[in-house]
Chains A and B, each alone.
Chain A
Amino acid sequence: MKCYVPGPNVKVLGRTIHALARFGDELYLESLVDCVRLRTLNTAESAYAMVKFNKNFFSYFNYNYNSNNDNDGPKCKISMKSALNTFKSPAHMDKQVENLEIKLELDQCKLIFQFKCKHGIIKTHYVSILDSKVTQAVYTKDLVPNRITSSQRILSEAISNFQSSDDQVTLEALSHSILLRNYIDDNIDLSKIIRTQINIKSEEFDSYTVDEETAVTFTMKEFKALLTFAEALGLPIQIQFETTGKPIVFIIHNGTTLEAHFVLATTKPDVTTQASTTQKSSRVERNKRKDSSNLTESASKKPHLEEDISKCLDEDSHLFNFVDIPNEEIPTNNCDNSVNVENNNLVDIKDCDNIPASPTSKTMIKSLFKKCFESTFDPRSTQDVVLAGNSDSE
């Protein structure tokens, strides 16, 4: 892949990289016949972003200029950190950079960014390729019942009302207005935090279709990142979502050169515990990625993890059994002893030794209540003696 990005578009590319960096730590690049796709996925796999640059975004575009196999476009994975370093301060980039050449050298394992700046300065960044695979998320859009188009300004203004400590936001879509709330976890002390709700009437939006009233909760950090991106490009945001638990998709596009999809997992707003929240979001992820062809390793990790947990649980139940058995056997053992002592007064102490050996699991109990298991133990001696009173007298 080889392409040239004209000066003004370099800024757009820089903004894109910065927005994607708020989502994930790795950047996937894929070159197709007519476009370049940048993708990222966060580590919790609850947020995914894809930005597609069409051919006409570039002044020159050759998707497959040094590769032999024609059917598959070149692709690669690089670390987000190195991508960020390449695009420092995107705000000023359009003033300095006249042209950017991006070259994907799969043979050398390098992605090369060459900035041709003013005054003949050329900056070249060689970014190492970590992998030559890409990830892909599967999600539904366009067919969903709820679609809202909003200017980014409305949403940014609304979000500015929240506190910086709020990390999740609930969007409740009603037929004539939307409500934005900061999501309150059940574990949070209500007397410590401000609850904020913003009511925005449907008339404020460019278009508003809510066929199925619902409330979805998603993370604030990624939402803010995509708002900043839309703000920088001055483009409206299309929000498409179904219902709780299904991903919400934010689409930002300018119709000709670029199209960005930001997909966030959603949780139900009224789930009781944090644990169930995370479960839910991971299930969403799995649904989303069911049909995907290039699964990353972490997908296979998940069921494995669950197995581990179930194994742990099994072990736990053994543990409980282990405790139960001796508890049941203590009284019988005591009975045996008392029978021996009371009914057969003549029985020699030696006879006690003939009692069948206790199961090994009893060793713990034995070591704790040593005296009870000694051959000289007489249970009558403890019958009426109260060594320690009941702790709760009432």
Chain B
Amino acid sequence: MPTTRRQQQASASDPAPEAAHQPPHIVTTISKLSKECVLRLSSEKIYFIVNDDSSGPAPPVLWCEIPQMMFFSEYQLIGVDDEHKDIYLGFSSVNLSRPLVTLKSAKSLKMKLTKKQCPCLTLEIESASSTSQQTRQVTHDIPAIVIPRKCWSDFYEPQVPKPDISIELPSLKQLRTTIDRMRTMSSDVVIRASAEGRLTLQIKTDTAKVSTRFKGLTVEAFEGPIEHSDSESETQINEDQSRLCVCRVDAKKLSMFLNADQISHNRVTCNVVHKRLVTLCLRTDENVHLQCYITGIVY
């Protein structure tokens, strides 16, 4: 068992009640995306990583960076040695999200890596009593798997190609209702982003073609012109083809990411690598950076 030898220790306590609402929402979002997730603790940031089951060269499904300074008043981390300062833990994401839901009424949270018959992430939650001045202590031991060093490379930050376009997304709630309606008709959806700030979501079935257009969105970067080698990406006649990025993605995956609207955010952008990859990036005021990678479907 690696934990005993490593003497790894991480403890942190959470003082800020406002900020405390964020991690539960993030973990809840993750638990909807995947059954398993990996928590990487480093001295500056904590990461939540979700890999696809068939994780090969493909980037992870989700990559989330949380600066520890924003959430923890105390943060101690001792790794194996100087070269391996981080700790990688594997969890059932539901096991982590359920206890965190009770944090709303909590006064403080202490997270510890412990060994209680099996490696556990211990959450010590101090919550105020509703009836008296007393506080009560709630301890959750969440079973975790300490990921050995030789597997760490599976969870390194993905190297993704530079996006052809980076466009701001409209309200996630609105997008989600749109996608959820489309999802009932078709399993995949075509995302089109133009350098003029137009975003089009389109599905095609045998009987219908449905598209929803959003206008006037901020384009943060455009690396055009784009070469369209085939006629698949039909569009309005008077639109410049070379200023348009297209990617076909799985509607279910897109919808799952859009659950992230629970996390209060200030900016969500959509990066499209033409016909290959869609990256959805969410940033919050606390500098939490959540990225979701959806690989394109090519016919």
Contact = CB atoms under 8 A, between A and B. Distances in A.
Nearest to A191: B143
A297 interface: no
A151 interface: yes
A157 interface: yes
A66 interface: no
Q: Determine the interface band of chain A, counting residues with CB < 8 A from chain B.
A: 20 to 34
Interface stretch (B40-48, B134-142, B161-169, B190-198): B134-142
A200 B143 CA distance: 24
B136 A198 contact: yes
A153 B139 contact: no
Contacts of B102: 160-161
15 contacts: A153-B131, A154-B131, A158-B136, A158-B138, A192-B92, A194-B98, A194-B140, A194-B143, A195-B141, A196-B140, A198-B137, A199-B137, A199-B139, A203-B132, A204-B136
A334 interface: no
Nearest to B102: A161
A317 interface: no
A193 interface: yes
Contacts of A196: 99, 138-141
B111 to A, nearest CB: 14
B129 interface: yes
Interface of B: 92, 95, 98-99, 102, 116-118, 120, 129-132, 134, 136-143, 145
Interface in A161-202: 161, 163, 190-201
B131 A161 contact: no
Main secondary structure of the interface of A (DSSP, over half): mixed
Nearest to B125: A161
Given A161-B102, A194-B98, A203-B132, 14 more contacts: A153-B130, A153-B131, A154-B130, A157-B130, A160-B102, A190-B117, A191-B145, A195-B120, A195-B140, A196-B141, A198-B139, A199-B136, A199-B137, A204-B131
Nearest to B120: A195
Interface of A: 151, 153-154, 157-158, 160-161, 163, 190-201, 203-204
B117 A204 contact: no
Given A190-B117, A194-B95, A204 B134 contact: yes
Main secondary structure of the interface of B (DSSP, over half): strand
Residue picked from B102, B120, B138, B139, most chain A C-beta under 10 Å: B138
Contacts of B98: 163, 194
Given A153-B131, A154-B131, A204-B129, A194 B136 contact: no
Nearest to B99: A194
Nearest to B137: A199
A196 B130 CA distance: 20
A153 to B, nearest CB: 6
A190 B132 contact: no
Contact of B136 (A153, A160, A200): A200
B117 to A, nearest CB: 5
Contacts of A192: 92, 143
A176 to B, nearest CB: 12
A200 B117 CA distance: 25
- The 5 A-B residue pairs with the shortest CB-CB distance in the complex, in nearest-first order: A195-B141, A199-B137, A191-B143, A197-B139, A198-B138
A280 B134 CA distance: 37
A149 to B, nearest CB: 12
Nearest to A164: B98
A190 B144 CA distance: 10
A153 B128 CA distance: 13
A151 B92 CA distance: 35
Contacts of B143: 190-194
Contacts of B138: 158, 161, 196-199
Contact of A151 (B95, B131, B145): B131
A151 B129 CA distance: 12
A17 B269 CA distance: 55
Contacts of B118: 190-191
Nearest to B105: A157
